[in-house]
Structure 1
Amino acid sequence: MPTDASLLIVEDEPKIARLMSDYLQTHGFDVTTLDDGNAVMPWLEEQQPALMLLDLMLPGQDGLTLCRSIRERYPQIAIIMVTAKVEEVDRLLGLELGADDYICKPFSPREVVARVKAVLRRSQAAEGALAPTDDPAAPVHLNEDGWQAMADGQDLGLTAVEFQLLRVMMRAPGRIFSREQLMDHMYRDNRIVSERTVDSHVKKLRKKINEALPDREIIRSVYGVGYKYQPDE
């Protein structure tokens, strides 16, 4: 993984922003900081980082609203939510909106660096042990370099988590993945994630595919077991 990856920190507490920025810079990252939610989208129109550390509570637009907007317009950007609210509903909501991970305050700078590296590794790593996804007859085609999924000539506009979920299933057509197995493939840092989060991601993924391929059901649910990619039925 390159150590000069560009990062954006959106944090309105100067001491926390400076602490994260200084520590990440010492580990080779190119870091920009913003302290107002309203400044984020205009900044992203000019440049896109590999990853954002996005605080939940911000002046202007809050972190969850921003997360939703960023996922719609810039699905390739990895997002780590930073929050002092430890309620599981906030964590779950953030992930369902497309965040790749979360960090709870207070945290250690070493934890931040470890989480950033883990998320970037997941975003950039190929699943070498699974079958390739470049079958010319497949109804959906993946551009893994650009994290882009196409169906019937249309860009599905997947979030990073949705792309990872689809990629895992596409590399083993017909295999039934339990929710736990999908979580293991999607989140390699052993974080605690509700099975309902996986269901939410699958629901959104299937909706996007159905909009492009209304006559095909290629992601199927297996009652009581999980999900499978089955394009040839």
Structure 2
Amino acid sequence: MMQKILFEERDLERAAEVTRFFERHLVSLSVRAPMTFDSDTAPYRAADAILLSLGADASEVARYVSYVCPQVTCPIIVVSDRVLSDIEALKILESGASDCLASPYCDRVLLARVRARVRRNIIVRARMRPQNYRFDKFGLDTQSRELLTARSSARLPRKECTLLMHFMLNNHAAITREELLEVVSAEDLDLSDRSIDSLVSRLRERLVAMGGRAEIIRTIRGFGYAFESTVEPIAGDEDLRALL
């Protein structure tokens, strides 16, 4: 599913610039005025991550983060257009922020930090409550690594399951080969870009062999891949096969 990021920023020109960049990478960014959590909490609770622009005193932002953090389940990332002192950064991180990014930085680094924090949050929450997924004509049992259709099943090798999980959690987003390499590198430190291509090909062939569409994993020439399917989370205690 497309990631939904909420960005508190008073500089509308800067907000528009970041929004355009994120949207080019298929990430939805909604902009709010600073420190407006209490005016409408719903967008904050629905967000996959919250970006807070440091436009005020670091102590004031830290107090705000410590107030918002217990009321949301997503990571909060503070960004500053100036260099922060160690004391300021510590205040912000100790208040509950997941990350603190200070100038100089580029929007590509900001996007990578956001995706990394969202990914980590998803992994932590998934460990707390096992969750399966349904997409296209398939289901994935994340505990057993079993890929299911209404009439067949196959147990995925660990690296293929890791790859498929990352695709599903970032569906419709353009994902670089470098990002995929980072995701599966924990399984095999010797993986290369070419190995990633081979791994994607094996996963695609498996999906096709079980009746899926080859274009469900779209190759983006010179960049990476995109997973073109709607993904639905399914509670771990539901009968996954009965839903296919």
Report which of the two structures shows the higher radius of gyration computed on alpha carbons. Answer: 2
Give the structure-1-normalised TM-score.
Answer: 0.49
Give the structure-2-normalised TM-score.
Answer: 0.47
